[in-house]
Structure 1
Amino acid sequence: MRNQFVIAVKEQDYVRRLADYVRDSPFSGLWQLTAFTHEEAFVQFLKSGYPVHGIAAQPCMLEAAAGILPEGVPVAALVAAPGQFPHYDELLQYQALPGLLQRMASLMAPASQGISGEQAVQVIAIYSASGGVGKTTLARQLVHTAAGSGQRVFYLNLERWNAVDTWLEAGAAQGDEGLSQLLYILQSHPGKAGEWLGRHSKRHALLRADYILPCSNQEDRMTLQSSDADAIVRAIAATGQYDLLVIDLDEGLNELHLAVMELSHHVIWLVTEDQAVQRKSQLAYQYGMQRFGERFRLLEPRLQLVVNRSDGRLYANRSIFKPAGAFLPDTAEKGKGTSAVLASPSYMAAVERLYRQLVKEEGGAPIADG
């Protein structure tokens, strides 16, 4: 999993150029870039307590954040000339981007050493602004496809109303060793989270993937915070047991959704050809831009719009917020229990193409897309 690197500068064009360069460079597999051009947004982000592994900011931004910069996190001042802000390591803001990124990488070295085991894990989140569009069906088919290609996969369902018991093996969803207990371990004994996951993760024989049971206390899910979701994802990644983590999100768009999206290499935004579903997606996207600003805009390259139950013909003349990257046919085959996990051959083939498109599979190894 990538390190969280924060950039805070006044110039929006500078942020765009840097983000574009990082996205197409080898650093895209190591860093997740979060950028701010307003002091207030930068300060509020730091106050929110989101995990940060490195900060590079103009002196005015650092002065605004004095007293709330996270302890133990490398911080550098982006300066126009050396010697302007000697209290911090200095980086020349205006220099060739390859050189700047190398200096940033040196700055990040202490932080990156601590989570090197997470960096190999690819994260794909599946999201929709509307219910009933086939999100969980896609998630489990994607899991099965990835596992069939040799990937070690973990399926994480973070829906508020987690109904995995409708398709898990009989009795598998019963018990009190699920997300509620993992949250307790993360809060009380975080160092033991990996051991807990090793003992309590379940194995789905048909999907050939691991998962954990839902919250035994529904209130734990209803009060789940973005920091909790971040800790869960990082704990799973830190086990070193998985190549791919597929996260099933519910509709809505809040800090928890954003935190998961920021941890993800790809976010599949699922819609159908239904005009109401597409309108809800438009509204959700606009809301994300308005509420989260630059953080949401930086997610744009990771958002993959996928149209379900479609051959693409009706959608061709419609526009939501970006072109569709894939079309999936109706699953066609219905059923109950484990037999319903896998869908029709045409759907399976379409998901196979989507999977290879997302991970840019060459020789079976997934490649992170920044």
Structure 2
Amino acid sequence: MRQQLVIAVKEQDYVKRLADYVRDSPFSEQWQLTIFTHAEAFVQFLKSGYPVHGIAAQPYMLEAAAGVLPEGVPIGALVMAPGQFPAYCELLQYQALPGLLQGMASIMAPAVQGTDREQTVQAITVYSASGGVGKTTLARQLVHTAANNGQRVFYVNLERWNAMDTWLERGAAHGDEGLSQLLYILQTHPDKVGEWLGRHSKRHALLRADYILPCSNAEDRMTLQATDADAIVRAVAATGQYDLIVIDLDEGLDELHLAVMELSHQIIWLVTEDPAVQRKSQLAYQYGMQRFGERFRLLKPRLQLVVNRSDGQLHAKRSIFKPACAFLPDTAVMGKGAAAVLSSPPYMAAVERLYRQLVKEEGGEPIANG
């Protein structure tokens, strides 16, 4: 998992140059930037409780947020000259960007030590702007493929209407210890989350991966916040037991979806050849750009457009927001539950190719961070 570095500077041109430089530098593998140019938005973000691993801000921004700055988070003051704001570690705002970033890295060094286990975990989110396009089918097959390739995989389903009981083995989808209880532990006993996951995570024998049961109280999922989803994924990563987390999202596009996408190293955006499905994806993408701006734009390198139930012939004549990276055939469904997907050799082979493309297995590299 990348660290969340918050930058608060009033000059928009400055932060754009900084963001562009970070995106094309090795620091893009370490940091996820969240940028503010207005003090009010910066303060509101901190009040919302989003996870933050480091802050670099101008003095007036820090003064405006004095009452809500998170404890224990490394903070750097971006100053014009040394000695202007000695209450924090000072960084010259206007200096060569490599030197500035090295200074930020030094300030954030304690946070790096605290997230070593998270850094080894990759996260892939499967998303679609439409229902019924085969998203959960793809997520299951991706889980199975990764497990067959030697990865330790955890499956997280964050759909509002979680239908895991339709494909889990009989009795495996029922119980009192699911996401509702995990949320309670995260809020009341965060130091015991790892122990709780160790005792209550389930194992799917056929998919060869672990998972957690849905919310026992539907209201818990309906009121789930972005910070909750972020905490769930980070809790799984922090166990140190997994190499890959596959996250199954529903078709909304709000702060929760954005938070999960920002945690993800790759985001599979699934469509079909259906013009209505593709139009919905266009509209959702445009909405994401309008509502979330720079945060959403920074996700684009990680968005991987995949066309399901397609041989690629029709889609080649259409354009959504980027070229498709893979085409998946319709599944020849035989059997029930998870076995239905695993009994379709063409689909399995196509997902295997997609998996290798995502993790760049041939080059021996981890999933790209965008």
Tell me the residue number matched to 1:79.
79
With structure 2 as the length reference, what TM-score do the two structures score? Answer: 0.93
SS in 2 for 1:270: strand
CA distance in 1, matches of 2:358, 2:245: 13
Are 2:333 and 2:341, in contact at CA under 8 Å, matched by a contact in 1? no
Identity of aligned residues (%): 85
CA distance in 2, matches of 1:343, 1:99: 54
CA distance in 2, matches of 1:16, 1:308: 36
Are 1:178 and 1:216, in contact at CA under 8 Å, matched by a contact in 2? yes
Q: 1:184 to 1:113 in 2, by over 3 A?
A: same
Structure 2 unaligned residues grouped into runs of 5+ = none
Tell me the residue number matched to 1:200.
200
129-138 or 299-308, which deviates more: 299-308
Tell me the residue number matched to 1:274.
274
| Structure with more relative contact order (C-alpha pairs < 8 Å, separation 6 or more) | 1
TM-superposed CA distance for 1:363, in Å, is: 6.4
TM-superposed CA distance for 1:99, in Å, is: 2.2
Q: 1:20 to 1:335 in 2, by over 3 A?
A: farther
CA distance in 2, matches of 1:138, 1:242: 20
324-333 or 252-261, which deviates more: 324-333
Q: 1:63 to 1:343 in 2, by over 3 A?
A: farther
TM-superposed CA distance for 1:178, in Å, is: 1.2
CA distance in 1, matches of 2:165, 2:221: 16
TM-superposed CA distance for 1:20, in Å, is: 3.7
For 1:157, give the aligned amino acid.
N
TM-superposed CA distance for 1:147, in Å, is: 0.8
SS in 1 for 2:151: coil
CA distance in 1, matches of 2:364, 2:202: 25
TM-superposed CA distance for 1:11, in Å, is: 4.0
TM-superposed CA distance for 1:269, in Å, is: 1.1
Deviation per CA, 1:110-164: give whole Å up to 9, x if none: 1222222111110111111110011001101111111111110000001111111
Deviation per CA, 1:42-62: give whole Å up to 9, x if none: 232222110101011233433
Tell me the residue number matched to 2:233.
233
Q: 1:113 to 1:343 in 2, by over 3 A?
A: same
CA distance in 2, matches of 1:106, 1:259: 26
Deviation per CA, 1:41-90: give whole Å up to 9, x if none: 32322221101010112334334434322222111122343334333222
Are 1:167 and 1:341, in contact at CA under 8 Å, matched by a contact in 2? no
Tell me the residue number matched to 1:123.
123
CA distance in 1, matches of 2:338, 2:305: 28
Deviation per CA, 1:241-272: give whole Å up to 9, x if none: 00000000001111111111111111111111
Tell me the residue number matched to 1:164.
164
CA distance in 2, matches of 1:342, 1:18: 46
CA distance in 1, matches of 2:130, 2:67: 41
Map 1:92-171 → 2, pairs under 5 A: 92-171=92-171
Are 2:125 and 2:264, in contact at CA under 8 Å, matched by a contact in 1? yes
CA distance in 2, matches of 1:47, 1:246: 29
Deviation per CA, 1:205-246: give whole Å up to 9, x if none: 111110011111212111111111111111111110000000
Map 1:204-219 → 2, pairs under 5 A: 204-219=204-219
TM-superposed CA distance for 1:365, in Å, is: 5.3
CA RMSD of aligned residues (A): 1.9
Are 1:23 and 1:369, in contact at CA under 8 Å, matched by a contact in 2? no
Are 1:34 and 1:298, in contact at CA under 8 Å, matched by a contact in 2? no
For 1:277, give the aligned amino acid.
V
Are 1:54 and 1:108, in contact at CA under 8 Å, matched by a contact in 2? yes
For 2:226, give the aligned amino acid.
S
Tell me the residue number matched to 2:61.
61
Are 1:36 and 1:42, in contact at CA under 8 Å, matched by a contact in 2? yes
Tell me the residue number matched to 1:175.
175
Matched, 1:4 2:15: no
128-137 or 32-41, which deviates more: 32-41
SS in 1 for 2:120: coil
Are 2:331 and 2:341, in contact at CA under 8 Å, matched by a contact in 1? no
CA distance in 2, matches of 1:325, 1:110: 38
Are 2:266 and 2:367, in contact at CA under 8 Å, matched by a contact in 1? no
For 1:116, give the aligned amino acid.
D
TM-superposed CA distance for 1:174, in Å, is: 1.7
Structure 1 unaligned residues grouped into runs of 5+ = none
Are 2:334 and 2:344, in contact at CA under 8 Å, matched by a contact in 1? no
SS in 2 for 1:330: coil
Tell me the residue number matched to 2:298.
298
Are 1:154 and 1:211, in contact at CA under 8 Å, matched by a contact in 2? yes
Tell me the residue number matched to 1:307.
307
For 2:351, give the aligned amino acid.
V
Tell me the residue number matched to 1:286.
286
CA distance in 1, matches of 2:152, 2:122: 11
TM-superposed CA distance for 1:362, in Å, is: 4.3
SS in 2 for 1:32: strand
